[in-house]
């Protein structure tokens, strides 16, 4: 069954059409009544023109324009428009003869002045047709624009959902990778029954809190990321003892700058994991500073192994996350030689 809303909508549409055509009838009555006082003649002539006008208008707005013009079938549009104009023009000629034969009894002088002119009668009819057709075209264009915007919005929403799913997948890969390395370090300390184990557990607890509750946020403050980088470095210092030489410099760190969580930490983790001891010491230099709403990050570590990969799980995931979150807003340079592995990252956060 038809819904009440649909019936009401159709009823309103019919009423509007009736009101419009009543307005057209009044226009015809006024237009053809100029310079004449014979109201009955003018009304009868106008009523005779109404079916011609209504039929021609509806054929254009409900058949020819939607089916041929909007679909860009221009040859058929021109052909059927020509057919419609020829038939309607023939009917307009009949309306003039109707005024002459039936309304004036073949007395040309009794005809309303304007109804005598086939040109003015044609203009009156096609003026209505053109105005209504133009309104129909505007309405169809607005509808098409609205549908296009809805489609674009839906496509963008689907793309956003896919990106969110991909980001969540990448984070799920990073989390186990990070935890595995950290727990291995703690396991070694527990075996040695080292006094530093409680402090190490506390710092790991802070990192886990960050990992479980903060990393799901789209962005965190740079200071939060920095604090947990420091916790991670302290954990590694306990593991390496005297075999680590690390220099971590920060400058002009703004509390207002936001960054995607766990974005810098994997680079540092990678330096500890793949860095090589040189003369019994692993050397890591880290520089982090802010400039004009951009983050400049550089990390270098000693490297003696020519087979050291630049494509670990962490680094590959970070590259993908950067492409998703900072597309065309970042510069990443990774290079290595026989002695140094270096990463430079510049993020535009504006």
**For the domain that residue 316 is a member of, what is the CATH number?**
3.30.565.10
Total number of domains in the chain? 2
Residue 184 within any structural domain of the chain = no
Residue 271, burial from CB neighbour count under 10 angstroms (0-12, 13-18, 19+): buried
Per-residue pLDDT for the chain (350 aa), expressed as one digit of tens each?
Answer: 557 888 888 899 999 999 999 999 999 999 998 988 888 999 999 999 999 999 999 999 999 999 999 888 999 999 999 999 999 999 999 999 888 888 888 888 888 889 888 999 999 999 999 999 999 999 988 888 888 888 888 877 766 666 665 555 555 554 555 567 667 777 777 777 667 777 777 777 777 776 666 666 778 888 888 888 888 888 778 777 788 899 999 988 888 888 888 788 888 888 887 788 888 888 999 999 998 889 999 999 988 765 445 555 567 777 887 887 888 899 999 888 878 889 999 998 87
Residue 188's pLDDT is: 73
* Beta strands 282-291; 244-251: pairing state: parallel
Residue 178 within any structural domain of the chain = no
Say which residues have a Cβ less than 8 Å from residue 167's Cβ, sequence separation at least 6. 321, 324, 325
Do 144 and 227 fall into the same domain?
A: no
Sign of CA dihedral 54, 55, 60, 63: positive
Residue 211's pLDDT is: 64
Domain boundary among 97, 128, 154: 154
Do 129 and 243 fall into the same domain?
A: no
Residue 120's pLDDT is: 92
Where in the sequence is the domain holding 19, given as residue range(s)? Answer: 4-154
How large is the greatest C-alpha to C-alpha distance in the chain, in angstroms?
125
Query: Which residue bears the tokens 């990192």?
Result: 207
Do 147 and 209 fall into the same domain?
A: no
Residue 129 within any structural domain of the chain = yes
Q: What is the pTM of this model?
A: 0.51
Residue 162 within any structural domain of the chain = no
Do 221 and 150 fall into the same domain?
A: no
Residue 344 within any structural domain of the chain = yes
CB atoms within 10 A of CB 230: 14
Do 342 and 200 fall into the same domain?
A: yes
Domain boundary among 154, 184, 210: 154
Residue 308's pLDDT is: 47
Residue 288's pLDDT is: 93
Report d(CA 212, CA 270) in Å as an integer. Answer: 21
* Beta strands 220-221; 258-259: pairing state: antiparallel
């Amino acid at each position: 069954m038809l819904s009440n809303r649909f019936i009401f909508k159709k009823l309103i549409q019919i009423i509007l059409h009736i009101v419009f055509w009543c307005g057209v009838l009044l226009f015809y009555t006024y237009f053809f009544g100029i310079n004449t006082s014979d109201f009955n003649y003018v009304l009868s002539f106008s009523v005779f023109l109404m079916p011609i006008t209504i039929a021609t208008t509806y054929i254009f707005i409900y058949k020819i324009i939607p089916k041929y013009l909007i679909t860009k079938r221009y040859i058929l549009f021109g052909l059927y428009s020509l057919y419609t104009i020829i038939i309607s023009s023939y009917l307009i000629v009949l309306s003039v003869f109707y005024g002459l034969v039936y309304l004036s009894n073949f007395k040309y002088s009794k005809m309303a002045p304007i109804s005598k002119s086939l040109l003015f009668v044609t203009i009156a009819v096609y003026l209505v047709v053109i105005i209504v057709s133009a309104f129909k075209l505007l309405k169809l264009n607005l509808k098409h624009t609205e549908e296009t915007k809805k489609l674009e919005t839906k496509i963008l929403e689907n793309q956003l959902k896919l990106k969110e799913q991909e980001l969540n997948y990448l984070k799920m890969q990073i989390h186990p990778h990070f935890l595995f390395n950290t727990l291995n370090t703690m396991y070694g300390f527990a075996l040695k029954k080292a006094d530093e184990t409680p402090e190490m557990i506390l710092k790991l607890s802070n990192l886990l809190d960050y990992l479980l509750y903060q990393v799901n946020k789209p962005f965190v403050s740079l200071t939060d990321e920095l604090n947990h980088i420091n916790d991670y470095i302290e954990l590694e210092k306990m593991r390496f003892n005297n075999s680590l030489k690390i220099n971590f410099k920060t400058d002009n760190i703004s509390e207002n700058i936001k960054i995607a969580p766990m974005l810098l930490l994997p680079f540092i983790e990678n330096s500890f994991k793949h860095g090589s001891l040189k003369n019994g010491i692993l050397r890591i230099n880290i520089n982090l500073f802010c400039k004009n709403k951009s983050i400049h990050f550089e990390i270098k570590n000693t490297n003696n192994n020519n087979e050291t990969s630049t494509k670990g799980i962490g680094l590959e995931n970070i590259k993908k996350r950067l492409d998703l979150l900072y597309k065309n807003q970042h510069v990443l340079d990774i290079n290595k030689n026989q002695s140094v592995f270096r990463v430079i990252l510049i993020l535009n956060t504006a």
